[in-house]
Each structure stands twice: as structure tokens, then as C-alpha cells.
Structure 1
Amino acid sequence: MTGASTGIGAASARELARRGFHVLAGVRRDQDADALRAPGIEPVILDITRPGHIAGLAARVGSRAGALRALVNNAAVSVNAPVEALPLEEWRRLFEVNLFGHVAVTQALLPALLRHSGRVVNVSSVGGKVAMATFGPYAGTKFALEAVSDALRRELAPQGVQVVVVEPGGIRTEMGERGIAATSRLAEAMAPELRDRYGPLVQAVIALTAAGTAGGTSAEDAARVIAKAVTAGKPRTRYTVGRDAALLTRLSRILPDRLLDRVAAAVLRPHYPKTTPA
């Protein structure tokens, strides 16, 4: 598991350990490792953007006598910003963590998965199906992860390795709170003309995200879906987490783009600052 420090990752590590797995749980800091360490959970310091860390993980997997049953790619960073307003270095940082890092880990561990007919579980997002305003950078990484997952599933099915995507909606985790804080910092740093153009929209998105996080699915419920994706004998290609994710992914399949645009605008409208007309 590539991101188990907090939230869904930590809950999933505990759920899989409870089900009898030995979980190599990727964390970024020693204090996170100490907090997570438990029977069945072996924390591993892992930054998926660092090749040396990935090589160390592959070596640790190779040193174990047991089979590698599954790779859960769930590490991610989140930030919302208008396409025009997010600096390119921030775009690149998001893609390095949310996409390229997972590709690198998958490439490193596929030999072990192929030997034992293991499974790849990629944790995407409802944002991998629907990109709300200001979600372009984050959703872009998740749309890309969905495409990579589709290709990988078709490439590996003849080899006996299954690829499953999990698409959470709003989840009550620290990641959501960190994403809100990062979005707020970026909004404050925007040039005055960009703040005039997008300020009310960003404030509305922050309010909507905060409401969705507070009322979202628990990390433990999300962990049970991930565990199902790992253990199901005949898994679906995709699992959603939460009613909001199930509804939005369904709407994205059946509504024309313009109608979906109006639905998205209506959802956002009540969250605009009261002094600013939406």
C-alpha cells in the first residue's frame, strides 16, 4: 500500500491486517510508522516520487517468502485551483505523485504480481469521472489514472493479474482538510486580476469541499471497499465509495455535457459568498 500514513490508507492497512494479510504500509515519516505499526502491519518509509524508495520496496517484497497478493496504489495529494491560476510546477507535482509515482511502483512490483497472479488496486476518485470547476489539476491526474488502469487491465488479464479501480467520493479524512488548506493558500497567492476573476468561485468550492468532507463517508467504510477490491474472487473493474460517487459517476454516463454543466453549477451555487452574485 503506497500511502498509509493517515485516512483511507491507514484504515485500509488495518482492515487488511485484520483479514489476515501482512501489509507493507508506505508512510512518509517515522512518527507515522510508529503510529501505524501493529500485528500484520509493517510500515515502510516510502516516497513514490523517489526511485531509491521504490527500489527498496521492491527488494523488501522480493525478500519475503510469501506471495504478493495485491498492490494498492492510493498515495495522493490534492489541490483545487482554476486551470489558469495553478503554476505549472504545481501541475507537475500533482502528476508526479498521483500518476507517475504509481506507474513507477507498478512497474517495479509487477514481476512479483505476475509470479503469483496478484492484483493491482488503483484508488482513483469520483474526480476521475467528473471534473468540477477548479478540480482540473486533481481530476486530470485521476482521469489519467483511470485510463492507465483500463490499459493495464487489458494488458494483464491474459497474464492472470487483475486490475481494479476504486473511486471514492467525499471522505472524512485529513487529506480533504489538507486539500482545503492548500487551495486557500493558492487563492491568497493569486495575482489580483486572477483573484478578481476566480475568487468567488474558489471560495464556493472550498465551502462545498468542506461540507462534503464533513458529511462524507468514513475512512473505515472506504477501507472495507478497498479490502473487497483486494479479496473478491471475481472483482468488478470499478467500485465507488459513497452515494455521491455512485450518483455522479452514473450521471456522467447518461447526461449530455451541457446538462451536466448545469447540474454542477446548481450544486455549487449555494456555496458562493453571500455578498457576491453567483
Structure 2
Amino acid sequence: MSTFFSEMMCLCLAVTTVLGGLVLCKLKKSPGQVGRKVICLVGVLGGLCLLSLSLFWSLILFSLSCFLMYIYLSYQELLPVDAKVVLITGGDSGIGHALSKYLDQLGFTVFVGVHNEKGSGAEELRRTCSKRLSVVQLDVTNPQQIKDAYSKVVEKVQNRGLWAVVNNAGILGYPIDGELIPMTDYKNCMAVNFFGAVEVTKAFLPLLRKSKGRLVNISSMAGVVPMVKLAAYGSSKAALSMFSAIMRQELSIWGIKVSVIQPGGFKTNILGTSEMRDKLEKDLLDHLTPDVLEDYGQDYILKQRNYFSSVNEYGHTDLTPVLLNIQHAISAKRPFTFYSPGSSAFPWLYFVSFGLTIIFDYFNKKFNFSVSDMPRALRMPNWKNKAM
């Protein structure tokens, strides 16, 4: 009996080793988030098995887990490029610019929509990328430019269809308390971040249906996590995330897969130039009513410039995690519904989704509000008595 048991143990150990090796081989081919998730899952399952079961049954269950993960990872393998055509919006700078270069290097045929086809970003793409990449004028708030871009893409793809649309174009506006944000900022954020993505999607869906391709929308952690100072931006990204979730269900019958990218804190040019920020600040001050300006104080408003320096200080400069996740969404046999590149993104998203609101609000208040940074009226010792 002991000999039989020993032989079974050796067999189980051999099977586990082989399956574990196969899973590791698959992991090497799995970009970014896929590999991290599987490694964490394997570690948790292995630990639970060893703690709760005998060695024999632990090996059995662990082998079964490795087999299932091998099947799962097989579906996560990337499809060949095969001259697939991808449209990217917002390619002047930031994520869209880096993604255009990255996909061009991988062999994709890339159409890059830019806000200014004569700008430095567009010129750099023409200079550094292959002839497969085409720069097209595409302001996502301009219906005629969307139609013109559609015509250029149709001319290229003809009956093949378009493989993927990446709605990346976005603006931030001026980050400050929601009461102070001008209505023009709210409308501009919705026009670019939401309505622009919707209109581009609607225009190019007939081409995606032909290829049974991919729709990838670049949202933000701010579209799920309620972040102070970002009422306009966060609301527009939340709308984009909900639109994506509905389209994912509706387009599944056509074979189109929809993914949402929700990056954490990465340093891009979405903050704009200092001249652009100065203009936004001036517009904000010009549109405030006297009573609101008195309560908040001009010194409080001017202090919000510190937000830009903090983003530049703590934002990640390496966009590789974002690019790998977008590549996976475009190329994987079965892409994920949501991607959260960035070290801070997933913990915050998980905490907001499953944690208690009162706890989130408490820590958020501790981190974001101090007496010295309070609006003018709140710094006055007799403010509460006046209010009563």
C-alpha cells in the first residue's frame, strides 16, 4: 500500500511539475495584467491547498488548478497582427501618441486621429513611424472631420473592415472644486471625453462589424473613484464607462468585443501647457459670482496650481503598462472587460467597489483637506456662528 501511495505521489508531483511548467511558459507570452493575476491566483490556491489538505490531495487540486489556468491562458494568447488596421484618436501626445508608435512597431496598420495635423506631435509620428501609419485630422467634436476620417479608413480597408477603434482623445479641464468649475468646462469634458467617443464609435461600427473586431475605450480611474477636484473630468469618464458596458452587451451578438482601460496616475500631456492652464484659471475667476469668490477666496483658487505639480511629481512616466494592456485588449483571443494599469489603480477601484463609503470618505478627507488649504470662509473662526 505504501509503495502504491509513493508511486501515486511521484506521479502527482510529476504531473504538477509539467503543468506548472506549461503555465509558466504561457505566462511568458501573456502581457501585463494577465501574468500578474495568474501568479497571484496560483500563489493563493497553492497556499490554501497546503494549509487545509494533505500533501497528496494538495498536489491533485493544484494540478487541476494548473490545468485550468493553462486552458485560460491559451485563450489569452495574442492573435497574429496580419496587417490588422487600428484607428486611434487623440494621437497628438500622451497615451495616444505612444500607442501609435508602439502598434506601428508591432506591424499594425495605424490611423492616428490628431487634433492638429500640422502640430509637432503629428509631424513626429510621420517622421519616426513606418509608411503603414497614417495621420488624419480628427477633432472628435467635429462631425465633418469624423466623416472625412471614416472615408480615408474605408478607402484603405475596403471589404476587410477595421479591426479596432481606440477612443483615447480626452481633456481634463481645470481641477478644482465642482462648485467653481465653469459650466463650459463641464460641457467641454463631456463633448470630448464622452460625446466625441460615442460619435466616433457610431461612425466606425459598420467597419468593426465586418471584422468582428474590438472597441477599446480609454476611461480613467477617476471614472469610478470619486476624486476631489475632478468633478467635470470624472463625470465624463464615468459616462464613458457606462456607455462601454452597455455597448459590450449589445455588440457581443455581432462578435465585437469591448474593453475599458482605467489607468491610474500616469504623466501625460492631458494637463496641457502652462499657458492653457493660465487661460483656464482666468476664465474660472472671470465667471465666479462675488459671493462665491468671497467664500472661497482668490488665494484658495490660486493654490490649486499645486495640483499640477503634484501630478507631475507622483505620476508614472513609463506608459508601458498602459500600452501592454491596450495591446492585450486589441489582440487577445478573449480580452478582459476592464484593465487597470498602474500600481495605484486596482487597489483604489477595489476599495471603492467593495469597501464602505464612510471609510473611503474619511481617508479621502484626511488626505485631501487641511486647515491651511480650506476655502477662505472655512478658515474664519466665527464662520459657523455667522452661518447660524
Q: TM-score, normalised to structure 2's length?
A: 0.66
Q: How many Å separate the matches in 2 of 1:162 and 1:16?
A: 19
After superposition, residues 1-278 of structure 1 pair within 5 angstroms as 1-29=88-116, 30-31=118-119, 32-37=121-126, 38-39=129-130, 40-65=132-157, 66-79=160-173, 80-178=175-273, 181=277, 184-189=281-286, 190-198=288-296, 206-218=305-317, 220-221=319-320, 222-269=322-369, 273=373
Q: How many Å separate the matches in 2 of 1:224 and 1:96?
A: 28
Segments of structure 1 that go 5 or more residues without pairing to the other structure are: none
Deviations 1:200-256, CA, capped at 9 Å, x for gaps: 765665434532333222353222322222122211101012112122111111222
SS, match of residue 101 in structure 2: helix
Q: CA deviation at 1:195?
A: 3.6
Q: Which moved more, 1:80-89 or 1:197-206?
A: 197-206
Query: CA 1:227–1:185 in 2, change beyond 3 Å: closer, same or farther?
Result: farther
Q: CA deviation at 1:131?
A: 2.0
Q: Percent identity?
A: 28
SS, match of residue 75 in structure 1: coil
Is the contact made by 1:217 and 1:241 (CA closer than 8 Å) also made in structure 2?
no
Q: Larger strand proportion, structure 1 or 2?
A: 1
Q: Which moved more, 1:228-237 or 1:115-124?
A: 228-237
Query: CA 1:83–1:275 in 2, change beyond 3 Å: closer, same or farther?
Result: closer
SS, match of residue 107 in structure 2: coil
Segments of structure 2 that go 5 or more residues without pairing to the other structure are: 1-87, 380-388
Query: CA 1:234–1:198 in 2, change beyond 3 Å: closer, same or farther?
Result: farther
SS, match of residue 218 in structure 1: coil
Question: Which letter does structure 2 place at the counterpart of 1:212?
Answer: V
Q: CA deviation at 1:90?
A: 2.6
Q: How many Å separate the matches in 2 of 1:94 and 1:257?
A: 26
Is the contact made by 1:12 and 1:220 (CA closer than 8 Å) also made in structure 2?
no
Deviations 1:63-110, CA, capped at 9 Å, x for gaps: 113541110001011122333222323321211111111111100100
Q: How many Å separate the matches in 1 of 2:371 and 2:148?
A: 46
Q: How many Å separate the matches in 2 of 1:18 and 1:154?
A: 32
Is the contact made by 2:214 and 2:329 (CA closer than 8 Å) also made in structure 1?
no
Q: How many Å separate the matches in 2 of 1:267 and 1:209?
A: 17
Aligned residues: 278
Question: Which letter does structure 2 place at the counterpart of 1:241?
Answer: P
Q: Which moved more, 1:167-176 or 1:145-154?
A: 167-176
Is the contact made by 1:128 and 1:140 (CA closer than 8 Å) also made in structure 2?
yes
Is the contact made by 2:181 and 2:284 (CA closer than 8 Å) also made in structure 1?
no
Is the contact made by 1:167 and 1:245 (CA closer than 8 Å) also made in structure 2?
yes
Is the contact made by 1:82 and 1:136 (CA closer than 8 Å) also made in structure 2?
yes
Q: TM-score, normalised to structure 1's length?
A: 0.90
Query: CA 1:159–1:274 in 2, change beyond 3 Å: closer, same or farther?
Result: closer
Question: Which letter does structure 2 place at the counterpart of 1:267?
Answer: F
Is the contact made by 2:265 and 2:316 (CA closer than 8 Å) also made in structure 1?
yes
Relative contact order (alpha carbons < 8 A, sep ≥ 6): 1 or 2 greater? Answer: 1
Question: Which letter does structure 2 place at the counterpart of 1:36?
Answer: L
SS, match of residue 241 in structure 1: coil
SS, match of residue 44 in structure 1: strand
Q: Which moved more, 1:206-215 or 1:72-81?
A: 206-215
Higher-Rg structure is 2
Root-mean-square deviation over aligned CA pairs? 2.6
Q: Which moved more, 1:256-265 or 1:106-115?
A: 256-265
